[in-house]
């Protein structure tokens, strides 16, 4: 049943550091690679080498320009976006077939591809654009938090995190249990003021975003002019100054 669980034992999710992300799209590529070769239907590309290529991705990186209200200089923010594994996931309850579900054991939101009929209503219900229907398979695809990696005892322990986290060269992506206040990710969120996307939608996202740190303000307070250390020249230079003025 596509009822949401009242409680999940864990709240596994991602913490994305908007201050550290360099916008390299490595997480996008590694996500596409892993999720095309493993769990579920592959993420297809349509007309990949043609004039109008498009494809299915579970993670995409936007870039925004933010202009401060006080007129200071703008900054660009690299903004990775994938499923936020919401506690109150609207995509789950709208599903008519029972394909969408949220796991009680770890809170991950998944799609049972054997039941999905490709109606797309879950993608309509998601405010974040986190679900994409694969045009080739006719099945709804979404981030699985790499369920086939994080519990996989056949791969080295350091690889048992989502592919995007493992590959991020900037250390901008963190994975852990956001339901445990003592976990590294929870402490990071508390320390850096981690935020929800579109909180007014009432979805209670598990994934958190760390806002960019405040920019330094050098450009608003230019360094003071150097103090004058000698008003009048003395000695030979003083005589020269006076002599030249008399000419």
Partner 1 sequence: MHPAPSVIIFTSISGLGFGFFIWLGLGIPDLYGWEAFAAFFVAYALSVGGLLASVFHLANKKNVIYSFSQWQTSWLSREGVLSVIALLAFAVFAIGRIFFGTDLPVFGYIGSALALLTVFATSMIYTQLKTVPRWNMPINPVLFLLYAISGGAILATAGGALSGAVAGVLILVLTALQLAGWMMGDKRLAESGSTKGTATGLNTIGQVRLFESAHTSRNYILDEMVHMIGRKHAQKLRMIAVAAIGVVPVVLLLLLPPSIIVTLVALASHLIGVLAARWLFFAEAEHVVGLYYNRG
Is residue 213 near partner 1 by the rule CB under 8 A?
A: no
Task: Kindly tell me the burial class for residue 192, based on how many C-beta atoms sit within 10 Å of its own C-beta (0-12, 13-18, 19 or more).
Answer: middle
Q: What number of other Cβ atoms are within 10 A of residue 170's Cβ?
A: 15
Contact range with partner 1 by CB under 8 A, out of 30-38, 112-120, 156-164, 229-237 = 112-120
Contact range with partner 1 by CB under 8 A, out of 110-118, 155-163, 222-230, 237-245 = 110-118
Which residue's CB is nearer to partner 1, number 38 or number 201? 201
- Residue 124 has φ and ψ, to the nearest 5°, of -65, -35
Is residue 188 near partner 1 by the rule CB under 8 A?
A: no
The token pair that represents 179 in the structure block: 């339901």
Is residue 110 near partner 1 by the rule CB under 8 A?
A: no
Q: Which member of 7, 37, 114, 169 binds partner 1 (CB under 8 A)?
A: 114
- Residue 117 has φ and ψ, to the nearest 5°, of -105, 5
Is residue 42 near partner 1 by the rule CB under 8 A?
A: no
Is residue 85 near partner 1 by the rule CB under 8 A?
A: no
In the chain, what is the greatest distance between 2 CA atoms, to the nearest angstrom? 101
Is residue 95 near partner 1 by the rule CB under 8 A?
A: yes
Task: Answer yes or no: are the C-beta atoms of 12 and 175 closer than 8 Å.
Answer: yes
Which residue's CB is nearer to partner 1, number 26 or number 121? 121
The token pair that represents 234 in the structure block: 């003395």
The token pair that represents 11 in the structure block: 């709240």
The number of C-alpha atoms within 13 Å of 120 and in the hemisphere containing its C-beta is 7
Q: Which member of 139, 147, 164, 165 binds partner 1 (CB under 8 A)?
A: 139
Is residue 219 near partner 1 by the rule CB under 8 A?
A: no
Q: Which member of 36, 55, 160, 188 binds partner 1 (CB under 8 A)?
A: 55
Is residue 178 near partner 1 by the rule CB under 8 A?
A: no
Task: Answer yes or no: are the C-beta atoms of 193 and 28 closer than 8 Å.
Answer: no
- Residue 192 has φ and ψ, to the nearest 5°, of -105, 5
Q: Which member of 26, 36, 39, 60 binds partner 1 (CB under 8 A)?
A: 60
* Cα–Cα separations (whole angstroms), residue 130 to 19, 32, 92: 22, 14, 13
We find the least distance from the C-beta atom of residue 147 to partner 1, in angstroms, to be: 21
Which residues in this chain contact partner 1 in the complex, by CB under 8 A? 1-3, 18, 28, 52-57, 60-69, 74-77, 79, 81, 90, 93-99, 114-121, 123-129, 132-133, 135, 137-139, 195-202, 209, 211-212
């Amino acid at each position: 049943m596509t009822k949401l669980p009242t409680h999940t034992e864990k709240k596994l999710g991602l913490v994305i550091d908007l201050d550290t992300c360099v916008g390299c799209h490595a997480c996008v590529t590694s996500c596409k690679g892993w999720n095309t070769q493993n769990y579920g239907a592959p993420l297809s590309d349509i007309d990949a080498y043609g004039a109008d290529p498009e494809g299915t991705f579970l993670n995409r990186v936007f870039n925004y320009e933010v202009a401060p209200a006080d007129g200071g200089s703008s900054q660009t923010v690299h903004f990775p976006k994938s499923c936020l594994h919401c506690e109150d996931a609207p995509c789950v309850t709208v599903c008519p077939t029972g394909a969408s579900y949220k796991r009680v054991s770890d809170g991950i939101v998944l799609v049972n591809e054997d039941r999905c009929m490709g109606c797309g209503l879950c993608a309509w219900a998601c405010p974040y654009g986190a679900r994409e229907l694969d045009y080739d398979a006719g099945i709804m695809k979404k981030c699985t938090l790499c369920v086939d990696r994080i519990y996989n005892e056949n791969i080295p322990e350091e690889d048992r995190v989502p592919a995007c986290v493992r590959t991020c060269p900037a250390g901008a992506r963190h994975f852990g249990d956001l339901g445990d206040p003592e976990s590294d990710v929870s402490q990071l969120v508390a320390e850096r003021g981690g935020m929800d996307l579109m909180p007014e939608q009432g979805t209670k996202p598990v994934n958190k975003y760390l806002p960019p740190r405040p920019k330094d303000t050098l450009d608003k307070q230019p360094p003071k002019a150097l103090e004058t250390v000698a008003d009048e020249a003395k000695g030979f230079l003083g005589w020269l100054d006076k002599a030249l003025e008399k000419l």
